[in-house]
Structure 1
Amino acid sequence: MKARSDTPVVLHVAAEFEQLAVVRAVTETLAILADYPFDDVADIKLAVDEVCSELIAAASTGEELVCAFAVTEADIRITLRSLTGAARVPDHESFGWHVLETLMSSVSVSRDLIDTGEQSTTIELVKRRNNG
């Protein structure tokens, strides 16, 4: 299977904790298919789990969690998004945020206010290949 593609894999699930197993499985499968070392696969999966847990906890009832995975020769980019009401996630002072910054090559957050007054929170995780 060609793991590196210009077309991202996009997963839409209910923003519910019961869906974390599905997101974890897809994350792990794509990282393994992209030939990441097992330690990196575990780091990527842990980071995705942390972000998804925060987004789900802050999500409005009935919302969805959107996960987009783009694998290239240089890195894997994972974009996670949900409507989070007025909650500001993640907390940049938290232990979880520190863990994200340690596990991933880069972490970025963007927030957009939508017409309903809710906030859409998008978090992008990037894990670059360690070629050294």
Structure 2
Amino acid sequence: MTVPGAAPTFPTGRADVELRLPADGAFVSVLRTTAAGLAARLDFTIDDIEDLRMAVGEATALVLPEADPESDLRCAFHLGDRALTVEVSVTTSTAPEPNYESFAWQVLTTIATSAEEVTTADSFTVRLTIVSGTDL
């Protein structure tokens, strides 16, 4: 499901970097650190790197409560020209109803250049893109 009024442009195809971790909050720091390292490689500003770290944390906060027991937290990173798209997803047996009023969603959409939630029959994904050097 896409946010009403938003027109995100996310990359398609194979991710440049993919991680699979246990769906447990203890591993969020691994995703945040990976995102920061990739953003530094793309010459993001320090402020944009910190925004990305925060956005990845909020995306994870949205998907983890929906994860099936013993499932994995999957994260795909698509590197672009001064842009980084991140897809954080979990396997879920129930299709969650997006809560666009949640604190995590409000923070995420304030920080990210674009963001959306995607629900399928067996997964829940939050996609976000941050473009370095733009006013958000």
TM bucket (normalised to shorter chain) is 0.7 to 0.9
Unaligned residue ranges in structure 2 (runs of 5+):
1-13
Q: 2:18 aligns with which of 10, 18, 36?
A: 10
SS in structure 2 of the partner of residue 57 of structure 1: helix
Cα deviation for residue 86 of structure 1 reads 2.1
Q: Would the aligned equivalents of 1:90 and 1:97 in 2 still touch at CA under 8 Å?
A: no
Tell me the matched-pair count.
Answer: 122
Name the stretch that deviates more: 121-130 or 34-43. Answer: 121-130
Q: Name the structure 2 match of 1:53.
A: 61
Aligned counterparts, 1:32-47, within 5 A? 32-47=40-55
Cα deviation for residue 90 of structure 1 reads 4.7
Work out the CA distance in 2 between the residues paired with 1:43 and 1:7. 21
Q: Name the structure 2 match of 1:124.
A: 127
Work out the CA distance in 2 between the residues paired with 1:74 and 1:108. 20
TM-score (norm 2): 0.81
**Which amino acid letter does the alignment assign opposite residue 14 of structure 1?**
P
Work out the CA distance in 1 between the residues paired with 2:76 and 2:23. 15
1:32-79 CA distances to partner (integer Å, 9 max, x unpaired)?
111100111011110101111221222111000110111111411111
Work out the CA distance in 2 between the residues paired with 1:111 and 1:131. 29
User: Greater relative contact order: 1 or 2 (C-alpha under 8 angstroms, separation 6 or more)?
Assistant: 2
**Which amino acid letter does the alignment assign opposite residue 132 of structure 2?**
R
TM-score (norm 1): 0.83
Q: Name the structure 2 match of 1:3.
A: none
SS in structure 2 of the partner of residue 69 of structure 1: strand
Aligned counterparts, 1:89-108, within 5 A? 90-108=98-116
SS in structure 1 of the partner of residue 120 of structure 2: strand
Q: Would the aligned equivalents of 1:31 and 1:41 in 2 still touch at CA under 8 Å?
A: yes
**Which amino acid letter does the alignment assign opposite residue 102 of structure 2?**
S
After the TM superposition, list the runs of 4 or more consecutive aligned residues in structure 1 that deviate by more than 6 angstroms: none
